Structure 1
Amino acid sequence: MTRPDQKARRAGPHAGLHNQRPSPYAGPAGGWGSARSVAGIISRTGAYEAAARVLPRQNKPAGFACVSCAWAKPAEPHALEFCENGAKATAWEGMSKRAGPDFFYRHTVAELRNWSDHDLESAGRLTEPLAWDAGQDRYVPISWETALSEIGAKLERMAPDKVAFYTSGRASLEASYMYQLMARVYGTNNLPDSSNMCHESTSVGLQESLGLGVGTVRLEDFQQAEAIFFFGQNVGSNSPRMLHELQKASERGVPIVTFNPLREKGLEQFKNPQRPAQMLGAPSTPISSHYHQVVPGGDIAALAGMCKSLLDVDERARAQGQVPLLDWDFIREHTAGFEDFAGFLRATSWDDIHQLSGLGREALEDAAWIYARADAVLLVYGMGLTQHLGGVDNVQMLVNFALMRGNVGKAGAGICPVRGHSNVQGQRTVGITEKPELAPLDRLAELYAFEPPRKKGLDTIGTCESALKGDLQGFVALGGNFVRAAPDTAALEPAWSRLDLTVHISTTLNRSHLFPGKSAYVLPCLGRSEIDRQAGGVQFVSIEDSTSCVHGSIGRKTPAGTQLRSEPAIIAGIALAIPRLGQANVPWQAWMDNYALIREAIEATYLQRFSRYNERVWNPGGFPLANAPRERIWNTETRKANFKIPQDLTARLRQESDEEAVLQLMTLRSNDQFNTTVYGYEDRFRGISGTRQVVLMNADDIRAHGLTEGERVTLRTAVDLANPRSIGDLRVVAYDIPRGSCAAYYPECNVLLPVWHHARESHVPAAKSIPVRIAPASAGPRPTPDPAG
């Protein structure tokens, strides 16, 4: 079905661009390209109030925390403490358009399913509670009182283990604490969250290796590092504010060594928009001093090569009576398992390392030597490590590399996972977890006079599996776009419509709303940049950043509608509407009126971690949470930091046959999107404009598969052939990418990702190495419409 304004869009700014040949981008990250992009989205969204009143206070003391990435907020902020994508997120939240009842009267759910992700969200901010009317196939207005009463009554009749309570990383610490408590008083640990889709491999891997499931780095460590190693993280698009620290490090002469399949602009060159000289023509700053294009899934082998080189040089040095290369005092006092790990390295051949990493021995030995010459090294990584079958092995192999030279627990060194969404780490800190052993259940029982459930709950993969089997009955989402973000889209969408109840707490319309359960509600909430006024006055919330620092956040902008409610108020409203929750002694109404009481409750639950919470929450730079590994205290079973041997030298799926015909697909985000939110069709850094229907391939692979650049092709998953998965009408783009791999956009390519294809221990969807076959589109299914034109 063609949407009503399709002809108008074809005559608009994207007209014809979907047929243009991609043009390589020669400029740096930042610079005038970033400034123009920010100005453009403010104009397109009409977010002038946000630009004037909110952006100057973004990520600053007494301001609000960006709803985009989770990078650290400095105590002494820059004049403009926001990046291109952070500004886009704020403009999106502050858009002038409204998706009110008249919008839903004009459009059925079936029609809206034909809209692109961009068009759905850009329809405008939601303004009133909505309920799905199956007879009309429309969302219709409903009062808050009726909506909450009906939701509460339906949840009361359901078995708690048949309901999942999902949390997106947008939710504040206060909302997250209330939400996990509501689920547990209700009777379930079914608390899937967005961390399950990205950094759960970090939470599992670091917990086993170091005794804490978060990183060990603070912002000040970047000022003291003598080398920085980057793995699988696109800083230019996903956490651009980090470029300030990398720029200063580069200018100090700190080597920055990058391992990434694609050459990303943010890791090559940066022109700082807040440096007038650079904006007026001074050269951009080089970021990576060395760039190694490892194959997808090849990081374990690359790290093994560097570790093997360190071990070899150290053994030769000690045999000749020279200064050892490894930190033996640290290894003996603080670690366990080194001898077994050393045996693994000795038994690993350089031929296998080269084959599985795609990198030569000389390159890895040179990188190891850079590492060895630095006394303090930061190890930074993103989802390029975590979203693999061997995601946990990836993380733990990186820790092994750090432990060999004592690069944990000293200034300028440490493990730095770069979290994606703003408070995705913080929601775990206050109890969002399906694992009962990680939640303070005894303390919750003591504080609120109820018996918490002790059975392990559903994570994201478990929630998907339960829905596909028909076991899941209800789904409540605190933000997010779960159905679109989760794997196996084509199977999951119809399964979602078979649920008895779906509830979405959202700011804008997204694709998950278009697969309503038999009863379905969309509850519009305040954005973080908006003023939150409750009975106790204007309220603020708090978030935790990637470096385990907690910050206050207060909205500054007029709310998008008079009927919007805050996330804490909506959670309290649902809790008060479920009769069985009356068994516990929880002051839902008081918390709704005064968020300081929620922070007091968090402090009472986590006595040491959040001491003097209300007093410290507005400290410039935030207040740091306790981090035992920074003090070289290891809360592991061995009471030491553990060397861990990987299960395999590759993090991807090994296939027994037809290797040559199979490509490893990694899904990507453009620099014009954040998670599933697509702001536009300008992936400036990759030179792709006007479309997302592309597949990036090595030029040699294009020829080997008998294809030509610009040709339309179909991708099919090369596993689980009894359940075929494909996406068609993708245009081939020649790109600087390792042979045997290809790349295409997320979330569109989630259709190719089987639910079972996930990290072994952490269940993170393995979206960075999906085995696929490619064929001309004429040989595939009916083409998928290009949402850009």
Structure 2
Amino acid sequence: MKEELKVEDPTMPAGGWGSVKEVTNILLGQHVPIKDSRLLMKQNKPDGYACVSCAWAKPANPHPFEFCESGAKATAWETTSKQIGADFFERHTVTELEAWSDHDLEDLGRLTVPLRWDAASDRYRPIAWDAAFREIGATLQECARDKVVFYSSGRASLETSYMYQLFARMYGNNNLPDSSNMCHESTSVGLQKSIGVPVGTVNLNDFEHTDCIFFFGQNVGVNSPRMLHQLQEARKRGVQIITFNPLRERGLVSFTNPQSPLEMLTGAETAISTQYHQVKPGGDTAALMGLCKAVLAQDDEARAGGAQRVLDTAFLQEHTHGFDDFEQSVRDCTWGHIERESGLTRSAIEAAADVYCKSSAVMGVYGMGLTQHRHGVQNVTMLVNFLLLRGNIGKPGAGICPVRGHSNVQGQRTVGITEKPELAPLDKLKEQYGFEPPREKGMNTVEACEAMLAGQVEAYIGLGGNFIRAIPDTVRMEAAWRQLPLTVQISTKLNRNHIIHGKASYILPCLGRIEIDRQGGVPQSVSIEDSTAYMHGSRGMAEPAADTLLSEPAIVAALAKATLLPNPKVDWDGWVADYSTVRNAIAETYPKIFHEFNERMWTPGGFRKPLAAAERVWNTPSGKAEFFTPETLQGDPDTETGDPHALRLFTVRSDGQFNTTIYSNDDRFRGVTGSRMVLFMSPADIARHGLSNGDEVDLRTAVGVDAERSVAGLTVVPYDIPDGCVAGYYPECNPLIPLWHHAIDSKVPAAKSIDVLIRRSAVQ
């Protein structure tokens, strides 16, 4: 094995002393002062700040410590006392920094002054704010309006996001791709088709009334650890939690609550999943088909015996459309087909269905394990089909619950960040601001990448994020990225997106959400939407890293003023001076959602936007919830080669990261420390390929003739994983995912299933 890599059998629960140790280590490692570490007591509190990590719900009556390990890491990462000094780029060229790891780049600390890349010296040089805005604006004025991309990550506030989408549309396009294009766009498409809303129907109260939870493809211990409180409380009430996931993730196995002195002292653990089914990657539609088939069989048996029906026939008749066709497809599907595609046995699926049939209020929780597939949208509609069979949408304790990633990725969509003009209130914007909004469809993330490869993008503006690291097809995209005439990044820390840059490149450093944002000496507040569609206010609590930083709204406004012709109906300066005026503008654009916005944003637990499906009102063409018959049970029919040597790769995150932010190279839940360049394989596959534990291997994508895609230098790690499948870390395995390998209809990169070929590395 590589000297720095250590692997051991992970046995610890989620939470517990391991979580306490991780939080302590990152606070010390980022040199966070004691006074700033106390900020954690204000995280996700009604009088504090919204976590900058995940989007999980913020309760009205929070725990004393309403933060998790991931949230603490995010807070430490943002409030670090480390800074990139003025001399840093004098000592390092940008080309030299390409060899640095993602962790090492961000670990340098906060960016504090605006920077412009100097081609002659290959260094970033400081530039005055006014000069940066003037130069960027002049360049944008010369660009073709349809060839500029306005990307946003999921952290920007509702206020900033609203201003940003208005800037883009006044500029002349709907090119507003965002991070949801890479994760939950399959949700937005699938749920809209099925139940008439693009978001989930579950709220925190439902966890108190449910009697069964089905989990699909979501790693709660890493991606949304605060949800473990709801799951633990549900388990203590006897709620059964049934999990379908390729890997046995620690957060879905057991949990020790760090906020319980008794559990911490005794080491007591709560078993989270009562059944755990290691479905084959891409086998979710087949598993759900099997669940539905088992439910129909139990209904047949009940009907034959004169017992109460298992199906909620009254609900099906009154509230659904398309059931007959779906029922026939389920009956026609054979168990052999289901078992082959899901990787599960009939008896295992029937055991899960038996619990479902005996439960009166069931929730379906899922993550990117459902959405990032060629048939990601179908996976979502299949989960809806399953819930509809027994009326499990639109009643207490039941519903569908997509777990979103970044802290305001759902909210950005609510206030207009979308490439789809039909989803934006263009007529209202025209009336409100006196301009003609563009009506042509804009570019989503995949389409923006395709345009870059074709040389059809002239400028890229990034509101946060690490775009070049997050997208698939890394090698091809980095080459195209370097040919972009202009790249602009609004950022807090240095990342790969700054090092791989366009021909002209600017870094505009901004305040973080946790920092006090003073405009004219007056502290401002912002707002976000959580994963359950509740809006919350957020007050910065930490002193800014530097007095040279500008806020995100101030930067967006300055770019707009430098680029656009003056518009007397848009008071950019007034909005920056007082963010409550931005919220008034949002409320005017979206009165049904944001009426009395400034007053309601401080409601404990937030206020929820109207969700018709939660009230069993279905905004679909038929006026009812729609059953959709799956086209195929194959998870990835376009890229499954049938090669007996091929392995099905899916990507995973570690507990040492959040999205592309790498806090450390360790993954304690999987027992890996010191390196992220590992490949998890079943012992049977290791033997079948003539390999051994610790061997170094290379992977090559088994499909596609447009380019050679490979990742070298991965260390084999034996793991409990379905045979025929391998797992590697995101984003390290992104070079293996072709850009064209995306979900049908939603274009989400299909990173959870791709055939690869393995070979021993030439040099060990």
1:678 and 2:696 aligned: no
1:659 deviation in Å?
A: 3.2
1:539 and 2:524 aligned: yes
Does the 8 A contact of 2:184 with 2:404 survive in 1? yes
Long gaps (5+) in structure 1: 1-14, 784-789
1:598 and 2:587 aligned: no
Report % sequence identity: 58
Report which stretch shifted further, 485-494 or 651-660.
Answer: 651-660
Query: Which of 740, 754, 757 is matched with 1:756 structurally?
Result: 740
Query: Which of 657, 670, 676 is matched with 1:692 structurally?
Result: 676
Long gaps (5+) in structure 2: none
Query: Which of 554, 561, 570 is matched with 1:586 structurally?
Result: 570
Change (3 A) 1:770 1:631: same
Query: Counterpart of 1:770?
Result: 754
Query: Counterpart of 2:140?
Result: 155
Does the 8 A contact of 2:640 with 2:755 survive in 1? no
1-structure distance, mates of 2:276, 2:37: 39
1:515 deviation in Å?
A: 1.8
Query: Which of 479, 486, 497 is matched with 1:494 structurally?
Result: 479
- Amino acid of the structure 2 residue aligned with 1:513: H
1:25 deviation in Å?
A: 1.3
Change (3 A) 1:94 1:657: closer
Deviations 1:692-717 (A, max 9, x none): 11000011011111111110000100
1:423 and 2:408 aligned: yes
Does the 8 A contact of 2:52 with 2:74 survive in 1? yes
- Amino acid of the structure 2 residue aligned with 1:746: Y
1:316 deviation in Å?
A: 2.9
Query: Counterpart of 1:662?
Result: 646
1:75 and 2:49 aligned: no
Query: Counterpart of 2:117?
Result: 132
What do you get for the CA RMSD once the two structures are aligned?
1.3
1:351 deviation in Å?
A: 0.3
Query: Counterpart of 1:10?
Result: none
1:651 deviation in Å?
A: 2.4
Q: SS state of the match for residue 401, structure 2? A: strand
Aligned length: 764
2-structure distance, mates of 1:107, 1:649: 52
Change (3 A) 1:173 1:250: same
1-structure distance, mates of 2:625, 2:745: 19
- Amino acid of the structure 2 residue aligned with 1:170: R
Report which stretch shifted further, 528-537 or 195-204.
Answer: 528-537
Task: Map 1:720-735; keep pairs closer than 5 Å.
Answer: 720-735=704-719
Query: Counterpart of 2:428?
Result: 443
1:704 and 2:688 aligned: yes
Query: Counterpart of 1:318?
Result: 303
Change (3 A) 1:548 1:692: same
1:208 and 2:190 aligned: no
1:658 deviation in Å?
A: 3.8
Task: Map 1:357-436; keep pairs closer than 5 Å.
Answer: 357-436=342-421
1:630 and 2:610 aligned: no
Does the 8 A contact of 2:106 with 2:493 survive in 1? yes
Query: Counterpart of 1:228?
Result: 213
1:468 and 2:468 aligned: no
1:207 deviation in Å?
A: 0.3
1:519 and 2:504 aligned: yes
1:305 and 2:307 aligned: no
2-structure distance, mates of 1:49, 1:336: 58
Does the 8 A contact of 1:394 with 1:651 survive in 2? no
1:315 deviation in Å?
A: 2.3
1:439 deviation in Å?
A: 0.3
1:18 and 2:29 aligned: no
Query: Counterpart of 1:296?
Result: 281
Query: Which of 581, 593, 596 is matched with 1:612 structurally?
Result: 596
Q: SS state of the match for residue 278, structure 1? A: helix
Alignment TM-score, normalising by the size of structure 2? 0.99
Query: Counterpart of 2:44?
Result: 59
- Amino acid of the structure 1 residue aligned with 2:618: W
Deviations 1:247-297 (A, max 9, x none): 001111100000000000000110000000000014211100000000000
1:753 deviation in Å?
A: 0.6
Q: SS state of the match for residue 400, structure 2? A: strand
Does the 8 A contact of 1:185 with 1:584 survive in 2? no
1:590 deviation in Å?
A: 0.4
Deviations 1:401-421 (A, max 9, x none): 010000000000000000000
2-structure distance, mates of 1:161, 1:406: 45
Q: SS state of the match for residue 713, structure 1? A: strand
Does the 8 A contact of 1:450 with 1:584 survive in 2? no
1:47 deviation in Å?
A: 1.2
Change (3 A) 1:321 1:16: closer
1:52 deviation in Å?
A: 3.1
- Amino acid of the structure 2 residue aligned with 1:18: E
2-structure distance, mates of 1:465, 1:363: 42
- Amino acid of the structure 2 residue aligned with 1:244: H
- Amino acid of the structure 1 residue aligned with 2:650: M
Q: SS state of the match for residue 204, structure 2? A: coil
Query: Counterpart of 1:648?
Result: 632
Q: SS state of the match for residue 498, structure 1? A: coil
- Amino acid of the structure 2 residue aligned with 1:397: M
Deviant stretches of 4+, over 6 Å? none
Q: SS state of the match for residue 758, structure 2? A: strand
Task: Map 1:178-257; keep pairs closer than 5 Å.
Answer: 178-257=163-242
1:654 deviation in Å?
A: 4.7
- Amino acid of the structure 2 residue aligned with 1:662: A
Q: SS state of the match for residue 177, structure 1? A: helix
1:60 deviation in Å?
A: 0.3
1:285 and 2:270 aligned: yes
Q: SS state of the match for residue 598, structure 2? A: helix
2-structure distance, mates of 1:192, 1:656: 29
1:584 deviation in Å?
A: 6.6
1:49 deviation in Å?
A: 4.9
2-structure distance, mates of 1:753, 1:163: 25
Does the 8 A contact of 2:181 with 2:445 survive in 1? yes
- Amino acid of the structure 1 residue aligned with 2:702: A
Query: Counterpart of 1:787?
Result: none
Query: Counterpart of 2:25?
Result: 40
Deviations 1:42-64 (A, max 9, x none): 11110125643411100001100
Task: Map 1:346-361; keep pairs closer than 5 Å.
Answer: 346-361=331-346
2-structure distance, mates of 1:713, 1:356: 27
Report which stretch shifted further, 188-197 or 320-329.
Answer: 320-329
- Amino acid of the structure 2 residue aligned with 1:712: E
2-structure distance, mates of 1:50, 1:84: 19
Alignment TM-score, normalising by the size of structure 1? 0.96
Does the 8 A contact of 1:50 with 1:94 survive in 2? no
Deviations 1:310-352 (A, max 9, x none): 1122123223322110001000000000000001101111000
Query: Counterpart of 1:575?
Result: 560
1:656 deviation in Å?
A: 6.7
Does the 8 A contact of 1:209 with 1:399 survive in 2? yes
Q: SS state of the match for residue 400, structure 1? A: helix
Query: Counterpart of 1:166?
Result: 151
